[in-house]
Each structure stands twice: as structure tokens, then as C-alpha cells.
Structure 1
Amino acid sequence: MTDKLKTEGGFTYAEAGEGPTIIVLHGLMGALSNFGATLNYFSNNGFKVLIPELPLYSLPLIKTNVKNLAAFLKDFLEYKEIDNAILLGNSLGGHIALYFTKHYPEKVKALILTGSSGLYEKAMGDSFPKRGNYEYIEQKAQQVFYDPKTATKELVDDVYETVNDRMKALKTLSIAKSAIRHNMANDLLHMQQPACLIWGKQDGVTPPEVAEDFNKLLPNSDLFWIDKCGHAAMMEKPEEFNTILHNWLTSGNI
């Protein structure tokens, strides 16, 4: 994906394709590369895909929260001159998409949520391992997935570096507390945008009942399950994820 990476206007992001715009929002421990298969597939099938690098660790500590991450998204859309976009978010990224939709509904064409936080208060905190030795961090990272092999050494190394960096650890906790404060349960009923929910049946971070609650509360949502899949369906089962999403996007839902 590095060949598609740009740094301009104060933003670092991947961009590819032409067509309706999909903005991809990664999670707290997520990297842009987590959505590599998503970007490649949809940019070659009639969509423009942009994946901004969220300023999780570059904002001042006092501003490291869901509200300011949504403000960052607004600034990014304005910079790219995008008035109306499909928002795709995993974990924290889904929460940011929901908060943004609450405040700027006219800018959101559709919502795609996979393993999203926003309802289940413990999701963010439970998914962030405390400091510890490498083996402990590796075990916690593997628990995010149904198949522990999905947690590559590169991924584990990144998590280990983050949790052992004092400032990054503080900012991670700040985001986690912010996610609890900004529970979206009372806001979902007012979101009329078409919503596609794609969930791993074995998601242990935002369990299946969280997806069911999202589906009940969002007025115009469709829920799809992927079996033998954990918290990051677009990484663990990319072909199934892309097929489900492509069918949904091209079946008159938006």
C-alpha cells in the first residue's frame, strides 16, 4: 500500500480508484495496511477509496478523544473537497464514523461498521492490553482474531511498542475513556443513512450481541455474519468481507 500513500495538507493517507468515495477509518491498534485488501478490491471495482491516518498519537493529550478525531475527519473531507461519503469503520473507526454522522449527517451517504465500538463500553478498554512482556502482548493481540496466526509479528511489534510508550499509553487510555463517555445508543435511532454491519461471529472484543444491538437501533441497517472470524473481518476474512460489502453497495442500498 505504500505506493498509494500521500502526505500533503497536514494529512497522511492512502488513495486509489475512481467513483463513489469510501472513507476508511482504522481502529485504535489498527494500521492503514489492515485495509489493504479492501482498498485494492474496491479501487478496482468502481470506487474511490481513501484511508486517512488518524492522529491518535499526535494530538495533544487533552484533545485525544472521539470528538476531536471526528473533527479531524471533517477537516480531511474538506481538504479533499468531498461533500458526501460512504464511511467504513472498524472498532474505534466505527465509533468516529458514528459520532461524525451524528453531527454532520448531510455529509454521510452510508455507514459500514465492522467490530465497531460505540455501544459496548468495555470494548475499547478490553482490547487494549496493559504493559507487559512480549509474550503477554502477543497473546492479547492473538485474542483479537479467531485465527491467532492473523496477529503477525509486525502487528505484535507495533502493539508492544505502543503499550510500552508512556505517552502513547496515556493517549490510548484517553481515547478509551472518551469512547465510554460518547456512548451512541441514544443517537442511532436518528441516523437514517443506510448502514451495513459486517461482524465476525467469534468477535470477542465487540461480541455478536453488540452487532445485534446496532442492527436493532439503526433504522436502516442490514447485518451480515462471517463465521470463524474475530474482531477485524476485513483482515481475517478479506474475500468474504469484500464480497458481502460489494453486493450490499451495488444492490440499490445507497
Structure 2
Amino acid sequence: MARGKKIYEGKAKILFEGPEPGTIVQYFKDDATAFNAEKKDVIDGKGVLNNRLSEYFMVGLNQIGVPTHFLKRLNMREQLVRSCEIIPLEVIVRNFAAGSMSKRLGIEEGTQLPRPIVEYCYKDDALGDPLVTEEHIAAFGWATQQDMDDILGLALRVNDYLSGVMYGVGIKLIDFKIEIGRVYEGDFQRLVVADEISPDSCRLWDIETGQKLDKDVFRRDLGSLTDAYAEVARRLGVMPKNSGPSKPTLVN
């Protein structure tokens, strides 16, 4: 399938015009970044794994009635998605304290929270994606109150789905972030889960051992990032159980 001209290149993906109006081709890169791109590397096979894992999660969400921008996977590194207007927020759902929450509030990593906590960050790399409140969001017109109600509902439904899927394969969903986009159909607007859902955007710990199976492996120099992501893919059945971690063979 032919892709059009490049629209945008981010830290982990490149977006191209799609073959039909209202579509985009999303290409997954092997680049890994952390600490607002202060730490960088190229991890062979990372883009392939994230493409397939994001497909797995987006298809699963679509099947349970949670709308996403995902249309279909095109090849090992590309997927076709619906064009949407991204709301400039990172929506973070936390089930256990970790990362910046632990640093901000002095809570030991791994502490279970009394309930899922939803946080919002303003998407701006130059500012370090600062934490914002619903007051900021309303005051600056990034989203309406109805949007925020819908975003909260979507985020908690994604959390229910991901938590269940991960628990079923022995993985604890610590936290994750998603982006939300607006899709326009005539005069009608609806919100969809956009961007990607992958170990790049989730914290995933093995339930038994606490082993990290997410981008913290790269952030904290804990071993092979590809091995960690491949382990998640194997457990979910996206990769054959007997495949070697260095050169992933993905299930069609």
C-alpha cells in the first residue's frame, strides 16, 4: 500500500499521509528515548515489537467497544490509522506508585494505590510535559468539560481492559499513558484512543518476580529492552513461545 509524504516525525514514530483521505500511515521506529530525549539509542527490533503489540491492544479495545484510531496493520513496521486531531494531553492512569509519582509524593515504588488515579500532562517536549489539572485544561481550552468526562471514561475502560489482559499472562499493570484524538464525521465529533499502546507507554512488572518488562529497562540500564518487549509479546501470543528474543518472529 503506497504511503504519501511525511507529515510528522516524533521520537518513536513517523507519520505519513495515508492512501485515502482521512487516513495516516504510522511507522514505528527502533529509536528509544528517555528523560525527555536526554538519553537516546537505537534498539534493533523495537519498532516491530511495538507495532504488533499496539495492534494487539487496539484491536482488543475495538472489540469491546472502546473506539480507537486503529484500522489495520500494513506490515511489520506500519499500520493504517484514522486521522484525528490530537488533544494536547497525555492521559496517565496509575494503579501502583512508580516513576514520577513516587518522586513527587515520596511513595515507595510498587505501592498499590487505593484506586486508579488519572493524571494529565500538557504535551510539550520543550516544557517537559508538565502535570496539569482540569482547571488548566478548561481555562486554556484544550478540552471541554464533556470531553474531560469522556476522556476519564475512556481511560478507565482502557485500564480495566489492559489490567485484565496483563493479569492473565502474569504481568502487573503499574501505569500507562494514552493520547486521545477527535474524529470528525460530518458535524459529529467523537473521541478515540490514539497514538499507541505498547511497553513504551506502559509500566509492566512480572507478578511473581517484579521484573520490569517496559521502557524502565532502558531508562535504568536493567538489560535488553528487546528481550523485555519480546517477553510481553510471547506471553500474549503475539510471538511464538519458542522464538529467540534477539530476532523476533511475529505471529501473523
Larger Rg: 2
| Structure with more of its chain in strand, by fraction | 2
| Structure with more of its chain in helix, by fraction | 1
TM-score using structure 1 length: 0.32
Q: Higher relative contact order at CA 8 Å, sep ≥6: structure 1 or structure 2?
A: 1
